[in-house]
Chains A and B, each alone.
Chain A
Amino acid sequence: MNEREKLVKELEDYFGKKVLDDFKNERNPSIELIMRTLGNAYYNEKKRLIMLGNKKEKRTFLSLGQAKKFMQTLLIASQLKKNLQEDQPAIGTRQLFYLLKHNIEGTNENTFDEQRKETDPVVEDIEVTLDTLREKLGLFAVPDGYLVGSMKVYDRKTDDTLDYTKMGLGGGAIPALVEDEYYHIKEIGAKFILVVEKYQVWQLLNQEKFWKNNNCLLMTGKGQSARAPRRLLARLNREFKLPVYVFTDLDPWGYYIHSVYKQGSINLAYFSEKAGVPDAKFLGLTTKDIEKYDIPKKNWIKLNHLDYKRIKELRKYPWFKKKEWQDELKRLEEFKYKVESDSLVAKKIDFTAKNYLPDKIEKKDFLS
Chain B
Amino acid sequence: MANKYREVAVSEFFEKNKHLLGFDNPTKALLTVVKEAVDNGLDATEEAGILPDIYVRVKNIRNDIYELTMEDNGPGIEKKYVKEVFGRLLYGSKFKSLGEEGIQSRGQQGIGISASILYGQLTTGEPAKIESKVKNKVHYSCDLHIDTSKNVPVIENEKNLETAKEQGTKIVIKLKGSYRKSKGVEDYIKYTSVTNPHAHIVYVDPENKKHTYKRVTQKLPKLPKSIAPHPHGTELGTLIKMLSRTKSKTLYNFFRNDFSKVGDTVARDILFSFQVRKAGLKQTMKPTEVTKQQAESLLTAMQTAKLQRPPTECLSPIGEENLIKGLSKEYKADFVTACTRSVSVYRAIPFQVEVGLLYSSELPEEQSIDLIRYANKVPMMYQQSECAIHKAVVGTQWRRYGLNQPKGSLPIGPAILTVHIASVWVPFISEGKQAIASYPEIVKEMKLALSDVGRRLYRYVSAQRKKYAEEKRIKIFTKYGVEVATALSELTNENEEKINSWITKIIDKQRL
Pick from B476, B487, B494, B502: contact of A64, CB below 8 A.
B476
- From 473 to 490 in chain B, residues with beta carbon under 8 angstroms from any chain A beta carbon are 473, 476-477, 479-484, 486-488, 490
Contact of B487 with A20 in the complex, beta carbons under 8 Å: no
Contact of A81 with B490 in the complex, beta carbons under 8 Å: yes
Residue of B484, B499, B509 contacting most chain A CB atoms (<10 Å) = B484
Contact with B along A101-116 (1 / 0, CB 8 A): 0001111010100000
Chain B residues whose CB sits within 8 angstroms of the CB of A104 once the complex forms: 479-480, 482-483
Alpha-carbon gap, A163 to B281, bound state (A): 134
Contact of B491 with A71 in the complex, beta carbons under 8 Å: no
In the complex, whether A74 has a CB less than 8 A from a CB of chain B is yes
Pick from B477, B486, B490, B494: contact of A61, CB below 8 A.
B477
CB-CB nearest in chain A for B469: A64
In the complex, whether B503 has a CB less than 8 A from a CB of chain A is yes
**Number of A residues with CB within 8 Å of any CB on chain B:** 31
Chain B residues whose CB sits within 8 angstroms of the CB of A130 once the complex forms: none
Alpha-carbon gap, A16 to B484, bound state (A): 10
Contact of A67 with B476 in the complex, beta carbons under 8 Å: yes
Contact of B483 with A15 in the complex, beta carbons under 8 Å: no
Contact of B476 with A23 in the complex, beta carbons under 8 Å: no
In the complex, whether B505 has a CB less than 8 A from a CB of chain A is yes
Q: How far is the CB of A107 from chain B (nearest CB, A)?
A: 6
Q: How far is the CB of B465 from chain A (nearest CB, A)?
A: 15
In the complex, whether A17 has a CB less than 8 A from a CB of chain B is yes
Contact of A75 with B491 in the complex, beta carbons under 8 Å: no
Q: How far is the CB of B486 from chain A (nearest CB, A)?
A: 8
In the complex, whether A224 has a CB less than 8 A from a CB of chain B is no
Chain A residues whose CB sits within 8 angstroms of the CB of B492 once the complex forms: 12, 16-17, 20
Known contacts A29-B506, A104-B480; decide if A74 and B488 are in contact (CB<8 Å): yes
- From 79 to 116 in chain A, residues with beta carbon under 8 angstroms from any chain B beta carbon are 81-82, 104-107, 109, 111
In the complex, whether A70 has a CB less than 8 A from a CB of chain B is yes
Alpha-carbon gap, A17 to B492, bound state (A): 6
Q: How far is the CB of A17 from chain B (nearest CB, A)?
A: 6
Alpha-carbon gap, A12 to B487, bound state (A): 11
Q: How far is the CB of B46 from chain A (nearest CB, A)?
A: 57
In the complex, whether B148 has a CB less than 8 A from a CB of chain A is no
Contact with A along B12-27 (1 / 0, CB 8 A): 0000000000000000
In the complex, whether A11 has a CB less than 8 A from a CB of chain B is yes
Alpha-carbon gap, A64 to B476, bound state (A): 8
In the complex, whether A267 has a CB less than 8 A from a CB of chain B is no
Contact of B487 with A62 in the complex, beta carbons under 8 Å: no
Pick from B487, B507, B510: contact of A77, CB below 8 A.
B487
Contact of A62 with B488 in the complex, beta carbons under 8 Å: no
Q: How far is the CB of A336 from chain B (nearest CB, A)?
A: 55
Q: How far is the CB of B335 from chain A (nearest CB, A)?
A: 27
Contact of B506 with A26 in the complex, beta carbons under 8 Å: yes
CB-CB nearest in chain A for B510: A62
Contact of B483 with A77 in the complex, beta carbons under 8 Å: no
Chain A residues whose CB sits within 8 angstroms of the CB of B502 once the complex forms: 20, 23-24
Alpha-carbon gap, A81 to B509, bound state (A): 31
In the complex, whether A132 has a CB less than 8 A from a CB of chain B is no
Alpha-carbon gap, A68 to B481, bound state (A): 9
Chain B residues whose CB sits within 8 angstroms of the CB of A16 once the complex forms: 488, 491-492
Alpha-carbon gap, A26 to B488, bound state (A): 15
Known contacts A16-B491, A104-B482; decide if A67 and B499 are in contact (CB<8 Å): no
Chain A residues whose CB sits within 8 angstroms of the CB of B509 once the complex forms: 26
Q: How far is the CB of A272 from chain B (nearest CB, A)?
A: 30
Alpha-carbon gap, A28 to B473, bound state (A): 14
Q: How far is the CB of A315 from chain B (nearest CB, A)?
A: 45
- From 445 to 479 in chain B, residues with beta carbon under 8 angstroms from any chain A beta carbon are 473, 476-477, 479
Contact of A71 with B506 in the complex, beta carbons under 8 Å: no
Pick from B483, B494, B506: contact of A111, CB below 8 A.
B483
Contact of B484 with A20 in the complex, beta carbons under 8 Å: no
CB-CB nearest in chain B for A82: B490
Q: How far is the CB of B470 from chain A (nearest CB, A)?
A: 11
Q: How far is the CB of B242 from chain A (nearest CB, A)?
A: 72
Contact of B477 with A62 in the complex, beta carbons under 8 Å: yes
Contact of B479 with A75 in the complex, beta carbons under 8 Å: no
Alpha-carbon gap, A111 to B486, bound state (A): 12
In the complex, whether A215 has a CB less than 8 A from a CB of chain B is no
Q: How far is the CB of B279 from chain A (nearest CB, A)?
A: 81
Contact of B510 with A61 in the complex, beta carbons under 8 Å: no
Alpha-carbon gap, A19 to B482, bound state (A): 15
Residue of A17, A23, A26, A109 contacting most chain B CB atoms (<10 Å) = A23
Contact of A19 with B488 in the complex, beta carbons under 8 Å: yes
In the complex, whether A129 has a CB less than 8 A from a CB of chain B is no
In the complex, whether A225 has a CB less than 8 A from a CB of chain B is no
Contact with B along A1-26 (1 / 0, CB 8 A): 00000000001100111011001101
In the complex, whether A78 has a CB less than 8 A from a CB of chain B is yes
Alpha-carbon gap, A96 to B324, bound state (A): 61
Q: How far is the CB of B402 from chain A (nearest CB, A)?
A: 22
Alpha-carbon gap, A42 to B267, bound state (A): 97
Known contacts A64-B476, A106-B479; decide if A71 and B494 are in contact (CB<8 Å): no
Pick from A23, A68, A106, A109: contact of B503, CB below 8 A.
A23
Alpha-carbon gap, A75 to B488, bound state (A): 8
Alpha-carbon gap, A23 to B451, bound state (A): 47
Alpha-carbon gap, A105 to B480, bound state (A): 9
Pick from B483, B499, B505, B510: contact of A71, CB below 8 A.
B483
B-side residues, CB < 8 A to A, are 473, 476-477, 479-484, 486-488, 490-492, 494, 499, 502-503, 505-507, 509-510
Q: List 13 A-B contacts (CB under 8 A).
A: A23-B502, A26-B505, A29-B506, A62-B507, A62-B510, A64-B476, A67-B480, A71-B483, A75-B483, A81-B490, A81-B491, A104-B479, A104-B482
Known contacts A20-B502, A74-B484; 19 further A-B pairs (Cβ under 8 A): A16-B488, A19-B488, A19-B491, A23-B499, A61-B477, A61-B481, A64-B476, A67-B477, A70-B480, A71-B480, A71-B484, A75-B486, A78-B486, A78-B488, A78-B490, A78-B491, A82-B490, A104-B479, A107-B479
